[in-house]
Structure 1
Amino acid sequence: MVSLFKTHYFAFTILLITFLGCSVSICHAEDYLQPAAEPQTKQIVIGGDYNYPPYEFIDSKGKYTGYNVELSREIATVMGLNIKIKLDTWENTRALFDQGEIDILQGMAATPERTDLYNFSPHTYVNHSIFARDDSPKITNYTELEGYRVIVQANGSAFDMLNEAKLNIVLIPVETHADALRLLASGRYDFAVVSNLPGLYLSQKLGLSNIKAISSLERNRLYGYATKTADKALLSQFTQGLAILKNTGRQQEIYDKWFGPLEVSIWSKAGIAAGLFVVVLLFISTVVLIWNKALRKKVESRTKELQAQQLQLLHADKMASLGVLVSGVAHEINNPCSILTLNFPFVKEAFEQAIEILDEHQVEHGDFLIAGVSYNRLKHMLPETLDDMHVASNKVKGIVEDLKSFAVKGETAHQKNERLDLNELTKRSLRLVNNQLKNSTSNVEVNLANKLPTFYGSGSRIEQVIVNLILNACQALENKSQKITITTYFHSKYDSVVLTVEDQGIGINAKDLRKLTDPFYTTKRQSGGTGLGLSVSAGIVRDHQGQITFKSTLGEGTKSKLSLPLIQKENEL
């Protein structure tokens, strides 16, 4: 059983990452609401690699086929697009794309270097593997390729990565993956680095039985449509088409057609159970790193722009300016956030189905470690952790939508009418900011009233307000001995539920206190403050017919008070 686990770790990782990536094309919520574009007279030229199966290739009858080709044709049908698919060597295709003779690529890996040059709408993941002959030298990691002759596709992402690795590797560039595998199988050179699924597909189809994948290149990349940075409108049409195919189930049918038979031949139940934990850790860490980097770069860029235009903004419509800011960052945030939101339930379900296999393994071999944690503990801890992460990812997406709603005055598409418990919202908010609280103070007091009456509203939006109030209190503290007190109660006179957040921090002077909820106003500009948190919160509270007030003494602390009325009819929100 143990050896079977080890055998399928690598294989399963590739499959599940590929499967998870299929959902990444879902972007803004409004993408689902836009009507399909009218048929166009202008022909859109789509480029690809003529020998990259099963993604895109020319078959024995000279016809264009593959997953990418079929996906592009389906998108053209649902969006009413006039397309022409052109497959050539990858080197020629890249050159024609850069020269403007090709409008969009249907399959390109989103490497860091390329994201500065192109916009991407991914539909899957690609992972590169090291292929070797039976008599090749024994290695376990791409860093051990130093001193060997390695075959790679010219101008591919693996070629770029190995070039940047600054290892003493002799790279042998070839035109296609098939060329690389044939050269390796013939006994020439030492190793080949190719995309994993095309490598497996070609080695089986060409009958290259003396080569096999021995190690991952340790780099998984988003893979899909790419345009020049100026062609956002064109990319948006393909993104919307992907979303439609995803929701109708057509994209999954195409995926199963091209990848299903290959997957069935190489996976097993034991591989699924063992590989799941590796995938979870790799998936979460990769997405978080990409999302943090993109968000940080975008916020820094937009902050500089706002500072440079400050005088103009004083005489312009601040809401319109905020709309420009949000439109620029919403797509960057929602893409990685959608990966988390859509796939956490799948990962949790897969884990629950794998428990039976793992329990059998535990009965036979005793308790064992997974990622340094005992299985007994992980079995109870992982589902709760995934639930918290799912809630947090939904929160991020909700914040982006609230910013857009704030920028477009009167927008109510995301308002909901739920029966809410202020105590439960407070508990959930405390879980989300638990780390910030621990880093800011060792003295937190929480006093929640017994059996608060419920009220109507949007739970995610009220939760956003509570989180903002708690984070502001944390930022006001000067040392960990200072206290934060969080209290809820029912105010019978005004028939409302109340939350107060009180800190013993630096306090706010009277002239600044009046401007706390003004858009763009912040006392923390130098530390990255945008002046939007309390402004957005105040708008949310007004939408719920409530009030948010502040009392503060400089040098002694601040008390924030959130009041929400109980009687709210659904048509009032």
Structure 2
Amino acid sequence: MVGADYNFPPYEFAGENGEPTGYTVELTKAIAEVMGVHVRFEMGNWQSVLEGLYSGRLDILQGIAYSDERAQNILFSSPHSIVNYSIFARKNSPSVDKVSQLKNKEVMIQNASIMHEYLLDNNIQAIIVPVKTHAEALRLLASGQHDYALTANSPSLYLSKEMKLNNIHAIASPIAGQRLGYGALPKNEELIALFNEGLAILKNTGKQQKIHEKWFGTLESAPFPWKKLGLYAASIIIALLLAISVIGIWNSMLRKEVEKRSYQLKAQQEQLIQADKMASLGVLVSGVAHEINNPTGLLMLNLPILKSAWEDALPYLAEHAKDDPNFSLAGLRFDRLSQELPYLLDEMDQSTLRIRNIVNDLKDFAREEPNEITQEVNINEVVSTAIRLVDTSIRNVTDDFEIHLDKRNAIIIGSAQRVEQVIINLIINACDALENRSNTIRITTTQSLDEKDVLIVIEDKGRGIDPANMLRLTDPFFTTKREQGGTGLGLSVSSAIIKAHHGKLAFDSELGKGTYVTVSFPVYKPSNAMEGTFTNTDYLESYIKK
């Protein structure tokens, strides 16, 4: 449910038949289409839709201005517009250059709007006259009531032109532009993330700009010559008639072929939308990772120096504290600070490492097809190595761990390190899914019946996956473990690695019973391949016995 102001043109307003229309309405529909979600609109005066968001009746507002105060209770998307506000007055009214000059003046503003909050928060001491809409404020001003109106530029110009209000004009724009975007309550964090992603895609593909030009071009461009338009229209009509004739002939010849391929085209369109979404997101992620890496590097370099400096200074500070029992630093007594500061430094160090790991995940996600996929990789050896690396994680969650390795020792062409990264991610996910130590984790390597693919099956008897989440498992930033520090990049990166190796990733899960994850890769069978035994068998057998 999307909330919208019913009279804030050209951003959002009710059309002739009462249907939602305007720039933000069309933008929301475009985001819904590219992200594959369904939206419905509820329109009303601004105060009512804002109350609807706070009450939970509405999931998201599509045209809410950002402020630090609002951000304490509302999550905001990236801005899709910058709205400038001006002081409007009658043409014979005294000039006003600053907001402070509105003191003791009757100023009309839209009730509960960002300007309403601005006047109150900044103690302007104007006589505030709240109205429901911009149209009401401008109409009252033009009729001689009250002194000024503090309203948004584009809607005011649009409404003044529509209502033919010739005796009012903007006299000053003393307030910085306001960022307009999507807003939702914190419980709808995933919804804001979804709209953010869709907005980024529209920006990168140029569709947002086209929608913007459609709704704001008429306010900025000069009137189009009607005679010239008539000539263009006549030319277009003739061309259309010819095109319709040709299309009619072709349509009768190709109708059966079109019906045959319609389903295929629909599937391809969905793939193209997904590919475009991933490409746009990859560009954004690459930039973010680069920007975060630099300050993170400085933190990792400087924190050990700070820790060393503290350790060097500690004996001198302790000596001084003997002479002055009340000696304190940073508002804390020295005896307390000497105990807590090492923990603070360690926490900062660990947090910096976490930032670095997240950035590495982001870089892995944004990375194009690896160029090191040229090695002969023994799948059994990779699985064995991955198990050794996560040995502690496995032992911490289960007493029932099983390994079954195919004795055919399948070889693939790829990157052992990247495939190992996939197996580790999937094993960690299996560990996280277990609810008690009696739950089983089983890892199996085998081959398809035609021996063209090697299969890696990771099975857990854990809590299972909600069917509603199955289609989103490999979406970047989607995670059900946000509170435990999950970033939602593990399966996205793993999926990209598997695709780069021409493999496949499949999930089969049932709530309360567990999950099967199957990874398949094409088997490489060189003519001179030699049969052999798996070099890590002794380790695995000893692991199972333990």
- Shorter-chain TM band: 0.3 to 0.5
TM-score, normalised on structure 1?
0.43
Question: Which structure exhibits the higher relative contact order, with contacts defined as CA atoms closer than 8 Å and separated by 6 or more residues?
Answer: 1
Name the larger-Rg structure: 2
